[in-house]
Amino acid sequence: MTEPAVELDGIWKRFPGVVANAGANLTVRPGTVHAVLGENGAGKTTLMNCLAGVYLPDEGTVKLHGREMRFSSPADALAAGVGMVHQEFRLVPTFTVAENVVLGSAPRVISRPEINRSVAELAERFGFSAEPERPVWQLSMGERQRVEILKALWRDAQVLILDEPTAVLTPQEAEDLGRVLRQMVGEGRSVLFISHKLNEVTAFCDEATVLRGGATVASSVAIADVDSAALAELMVGSSTKSTETDAQRNTEMGDVVLAVDNVSVTDSRGLTAVDGVSFEVRAGEILGIAGVAGNGQRQLTDAIAGLETCRTGSVALMGDDLTSATPRDRFRAGLAYVPEDRLGVGLAPKLPIAENAVMRHYPKMRRGPILLWDRAKEFSAELVSRFEVKVGRVEDRLASLSGGNLQRLLLGRELSSEPSVVVASQPTRGLDVHGVAAIQRLLVEQRDQGTGVLMVSEDLDELLVLADRILVMSEGRVAGKFDPAVASRAEIGAAMAGVS
Amino acid sequence: MRRRLLLVVAAVLAFSLVATACGDDGGSTGGASDDVTAAWVYIGQPGDAGWTFAHDQGRQAAADATGATTLTVENIAEGSPEFEQAVRDFIAEGADIIFATSFGYMDDMEKLAAEFPDVVFDHATGFKSNDTNFTNYFGRVYQPRYLSGMIAGASTTTDTIGYVAAFPIPEVIRGINAFTLGAQVTNPDVTVQVNWTSTWFDPAVEGDAASALLEAGADVIAMHQDSTAAGEAAEAAGARWVSYNSDMSAFAPSAYLTSAVWDWGPYYTSVIEEVGAGTWDATPYWGGMDDGIVKLGSIASDVDAALVTQVNDVGDQMTAGTFDPFTGPINDQDGTERVAAGVSMDDGSMLGMDWFVDGVDGSAGG
Amino acid sequence: MKRLVLARRENPTRGGQPLAFLVGLVFALVIGALLLWSSGDPVIDTYQRMWERSFGSRDVISATLNRAVPLALAGLAVSIAAKMGLWNIGAEGQILFGATAAAGMARIGDSWPGPVLITAMLIAAAIGGALWALGPALARSEIGVSEIITTLMLNEVALRVIRYLQSGPWKDPDGFGNLQVTPLPDQAALGNIWERAHLGVLIALAVIAFFAWFMTRSVWGYELRIAGSSAKAATYIGISMRTKVLGVLLLSGAVAGFAGGIELTGTASRLNENISNGFGFAGIIVAALALMRPSGVLVVAVAFGGLQVGGQSIQLLGVSSAVSAILQALILFGAIGAGVLSAYQIRLVDRKVA
């Protein structure tokens, strides 16, 4: 047996209040695509960062081809042949593809045509087309990802780490990526593929290592020998139940709680993002809005919540016109909003958990100009325990929470004032199996209590299970209304694609 | 009034340094004077030319002549707590005399003089004093100004002299008026154009002001700041230049005509000697060419010998006290008679002068 | 083969900050010693004098405290704006105009009793400072013009306003035509409370303590933190970014203007154009060294004040003002550098791997 390309042994990494890796192990054979699986917060990214020189592990050893390594920077790791493509790309938008690829490792005297040619050759060798002279800002996300990969290959990385690479890709681009990865491992390189999407793992990868709670629970499982269900079970630690059994369709609909009438919104570029959308949400129903991302969903929910101005039309809550009300007044009137961007819109990442927990409620916790912090902390502690947010202390930084916990905190905060309408935009996106189930359960509970729920999701399956009615948005308009009990996926898919 | 941004230095952090430590090697003339410690507060840095340079030359001369210990501190902003701190530092070091060399130190001088009655406080260019330990000193630099004006008036072929002026205060206005009256002796048709810079030391502004005057037709430039920029502008334009404060001929050798300069050495020496001997009293001092505190600097070699003789004659009369530049009839810009024929202006009127004589083109209000 | 590398600390410790500061100070002192040595100045004597004339006796400590007052208030002003990610580079101008407003109040109330007049002057100073920040604040909140440029430019304008007042409207009739304004009435001076330290020391202390408390405990301060953390989050919960930007810049200006009022009543006999003398710019450094925390501003300002006072004194040993300025800058640089370094660690690592 050949020497493993990568060998991580007993890696521990602690952050204030959190143990991210608790003795994780990982062995990668050369010439394979190796999946690193785990729920959000399982420690996948931290482990990979330890391998890529971003973090220095507290304990444990990192070996490359049998030699022990100690990387103090990503540059060190790269010099040793480990390249990482992060979820957020690190490219200079105004530079060309070739300039980005060679940035930091260019020869002293730069001959532009020569560099363009060698970058093009490199791309061709791995089976993707690249236009070396195009500036990066013109590229799609998928194209940018390829530039990141090329950057690593240019430095002759033998081990390439891809952190959730398909999150930003179209299905077609994801397929192309799979082909490129094959080509790379064909030359004896190794690829580490971080994901929690099982279908991709089974399609692209040779072996998988599964992490749970920072430790390795299954090491180098051959993908050919297991099925998705078994992998999922390893990830979550118990048999997963479909959410379908939880959702009981509501038959009794109440009064109209949210009325959206002929709303149009202009986006920041001056284009029409929402074009005359009308619908009603009734008490005790989940109205699902389906559609491909970028068809005006975000602007629509922002307009309902008061973050965008309606160019035309009106928004009414419980019969009261709120079209020109402030976001705060809308919340006070009973409109809860879970925005698509949790960090940065729904939550303030630099502030402590408690300060985030009371962001909607502090007007009720003041005496004159003074905020009553004791009451705020009490409220936060209750919120955290009622919605099962796993935190150290409520004074800790928000950044210490995992994605699922962030969403629980956010949703919990929005629900704790007993709203009459909940608008939730992509509430389960990016969450792990447990997280998705928890959030869905909370929304279903709300519906069952008689709240009107407007749920925007790109996951049609989710809507088919949860929603009482489905609207499809396409190019800013309502492209179809469906009853999930009878509608076929094909019909809805056609509406999403804009086929009328 | 000069501002400085010490903090900008923090951004520069250059390691190329100018080692400009001031040596304090006093002479050894003996007597009580060598027990005296005299201290100077400077508004700027001595450098190679200008107001502070002239004071520092005087300090060195006095130190050599008396053997007194001398202390200096540079770049002290007027009206800031830095001045008080400097004086207290000096007194902690045993200073017997404080010489403050800029107008804006006046209020603090008055306050500190009251607090330290055993220390002599002597303030250049100010007008306050008490009867015991605080007084002021200055020189009648308008006298050599007048002489330099005579040379300038004879040198202009366009009958236009540009005057790069600092601030519209009596000291500067007096200089412009004396200069203009002198120029009119040798050239009755001359006009002196004034360009205010509102700076004491800003080479860029002062150079630009001189260039503007040159473009407007002046072919001789006079000035009242510490920098040599006006002279350099004149040099570049092939024009002539009258410098001030110290002999600045080295900075614009072909433009240089002459200068009105300070020689503080004799005054500083006498104050130190009087303090050492216990004979000093708090009488304000305003000396002229007779005391040698002000004089005409070197004259360019191409100036007509007859003119030089004429200028020297007038200078001798001033030294002898037989001629005063501000002797009537003198009219102001509106033609109003300010000084009647045969009358010499009194010191009070000179100290408060806020009008230009006829022949000056510009506003005395700034 | 080993080499030194700089790596970001994942868990910067709080205790590391003073330690790093000390290391930076020692480093700066060593470089400064080389500088003094190369310019022929006595090294030990210079440092000793610097210490003696800043913290060496009650008298000089009181002078240092006086100097710390405008530095601390300017630092507070900068740090308040920084809470929202705004850069008030115009504290200098706001100090000048605050002092100008206070001096104007003294002209109106020159017959009022001292406490009444001083109170009125300080209020006028704060309003004046806020007024001086109003233009940049509106330009920022309404049309998004960078406050960095506008506040900076107004510094020069404030200076010109004082020059204008000196040359005409407020010109001292007893000044023999010189450019100075009429002196303040005698009762407009803050009295001394300890040695030479004036009452402004206590007032500044109270103001800073108030803001340290107010910024953490008040609704306004909390909303400011949200807005500073994420403008979108602030909008999402209904905080108006426009009014917040406006409010925080006006407050920052008011604090800086107040510093001008304190400086005028505490140390000056009349309004003059050096009433600030760089305090507004120094405030940026003070705020940066204090990590934008109001509570830290106090300590930093006292150290900075001592540095200025002691740094000037070494000229008496024959050290030129240029060397003295570089030495002061070096020490600041060392301290700032240490602040940065405390977020990093220096490690010895293998030069080449694989």
| Residue in B13, B18, B366 nearest the CB of C167 | B366
Which residues have CB under 8 Å from A238's CB, separation 6+?
Answer: none
> Does residue C192 belong to the interface with chain B, where contact is any CB pair within 8 Å?
no
- Distance, CA of B236 to CA of B254 (rounded, Å): 10
Asked if B365 lies within 8 A of C272 by C-beta distance, the reply is no
Asked if C238 lies within 8 A of A327 by C-beta distance, the reply is yes
**What pLDDT was estimated at residue A92?**
87
Asked if C312 lies within 8 A of B82 by C-beta distance, the reply is yes
Regarding beta strands B256-262 and B240-245, do their DSSP bridges make them parallel or antiparallel, or are they unpaired? parallel
Q: Which residue ranges in chain C fall short of pLDDT 70?
A: 1-17, 339-354
Residues 94 to 123 of B: which have CB under 8 A from any C CB? 103-104, 107-108, 111
As a dihedral over the C-alpha atoms of residue C73, residue C76, residue C78, residue C81, rounded to 10 degrees, the angle is: -130
Which CATH class name applies to B17-139+263-287?
alpha beta
Contacts 24+ apart (CB under 8 A), B44-48: B44/B2, B44/B74, B44/B75, B44/B200, B44/B201, B44/B226, B45/B20, B45/B74, B45/B75, B45/C320, B45/C321, B45/C322, B46/B20, B46/B22, B46/B74
- Distance, CA of A154 to CA of A1 (rounded, Å): 29
- Minimum Cα–Cα distance from A64: chain C residue: C354
Asked if B72 lies within 8 A of C330 by C-beta distance, the reply is no
Mean residue pLDDT of chain B comes to 89
| Residue in B82, B93, B170 nearest the CB of C316 | B93
Q: What spatial distance separates the first Cα and last Cα of chain B, rounded to whole Å?
A: 16
Q: Which residues of C touch A (CB under 8 A)?
A: 5, 7, 10-11, 217-220, 222, 225-226, 228-230, 232-238, 347, 349-350, 352-354
Mean residue pLDDT of chain A comes to 85
* Predicted TM-score of the model (pTM): 0.78
Residue A218 CB: number of other CB atoms within 10 A?
17
- Distance, CA of A128 to CA of B353 (rounded, Å): 86
Do B142-254+294-361 and B17-139+263-287 fall under one CATH topology? Answer: yes
**What pLDDT was estimated at residue B30?**
45
Best mutation target, A345, A347, A372, A374, to test chain C (most C CBs within 10 A): A345
Where are the domains positioned within chain B? 17-139+263-287, 142-254+294-361
Asked if B170 lies within 8 A of C313 by C-beta distance, the reply is no
DSSP result, B13-80: --------PPP-------SGGGG-EEEEE-SS--TTSSHHHHHHHHHHHHHHHH--EEEEE--PPTTS
- Distance, CA of C43 to CA of C289 (rounded, Å): 26
- Residue C1: name the closest of C304, C274, C300, C352 by CA: C352
| Residue in C217, C228, C347 nearest the CB of A370 | C217
Asked if C321 lies within 8 A of B169 by C-beta distance, the reply is no
Residue A253 CB: number of other CB atoms within 10 A?
15
Q: Check the CA dihedral A454-A455-A458-A461 and report its sign.
A: negative
Regarding beta strands A469-474 and A477-482, do their DSSP bridges make them parallel or antiparallel, or are they unpaired? antiparallel
pLDDT tens for B128-140 read 999 999 999 999 9
pLDDT tens for A202-248 read 888 999 998 887 889 888 888 888 876 677 667 766 533 344 444 55
Report residue A87 as tokens: 């979820």
Residue A1 CB: number of other CB atoms within 10 A?
4
State the complex-level ipTM.
Answer: 0.88
Asked if A369 lies within 8 A of C219 by C-beta distance, the reply is yes
- Residue B281: name the closest of B135, B110, B137, B94 by CA: B135
**Residue that has been written with the tokens 């000096």 in this structure:** B90
Asked if A351 lies within 8 A of C349 by C-beta distance, the reply is no
- Residue A437: name the closest of A195, A244, A289 by CA: A244
Asked if C233 lies within 8 A of A348 by C-beta distance, the reply is yes
Which residues in B lie closer than 8 A to residue C312 (C-beta atoms)? 73, 76, 82, 85-86, 89
Domain covering B142-254+294-361: architecture: 3-Layer(aba) Sandwich (3.40)
pLDDT tens for C141-186 read 999 899 999 999 999 999 999 999 998 899 998 888 888 999 999 9
pLDDT tens for C92-121 read 999 999 999 999 999 999 999 999 999 999
Residues above pLDDT 90, as percent of chain B? 81
Q: Do chains A and B touch (3 or more CB pairs under 8 A)?
A: no
Structural domains in chain A, sorted by start? 6-239 (3.40.50.300), 245-334+419-496 (3.40.50.300)
> Does residue C281 belong to the interface with chain B, where contact is any CB pair within 8 Å?
yes
pLDDT of A376 strictly over 90: yes
> Does residue B75 belong to the interface with chain C, where contact is any CB pair within 8 Å?
yes
DSSP result, A114-149: HHHHHHHHHHHHTT----TTSBGGGS-HHHHHHHHH
- Residue A159: name the closest of A73, A72, A64, A87 by CA: A64
**What pLDDT was estimated at residue B184?**
95
Confidence class of residue A422 from pLDDT cuts 50, 70 and 90? very high
Treating both helix axes as pointing N-terminal to C-terminal, what angle do C200-217 and C58-82 enclose, rounded to 10 degrees? 30
- Residue A387: name the closest of A448, A467, A446 by CA: A446
**What pLDDT was estimated at residue B8?**
33
Asked if C237 lies within 8 A of A326 by C-beta distance, the reply is no
Residues above pLDDT 70, as percent of chain A? 89
Residue B243 is inside which H or E element, if any?
Answer: strand B240-245
**Residue that has been written with the tokens 């710019």 in this structure:** C281
| Residue in C7, C10, C354 nearest the CB of A81 | C354
Best mutation target, C159, C262, C312, C328, to test chain B (most B CBs within 10 A): C312
Q: Read off the DSSP letter of residue B227.
A: -
- Distance, CA of C260 to CA of C239 (rounded, Å): 32
Contact B247, B297 (CB under 8 A): yes
How many angstroms away from the CA of B158 is the closest CA of chain C? 33
- Percentages helix, strand, coil for chain B (3-state, rounded to 5) are 40, 20, 40
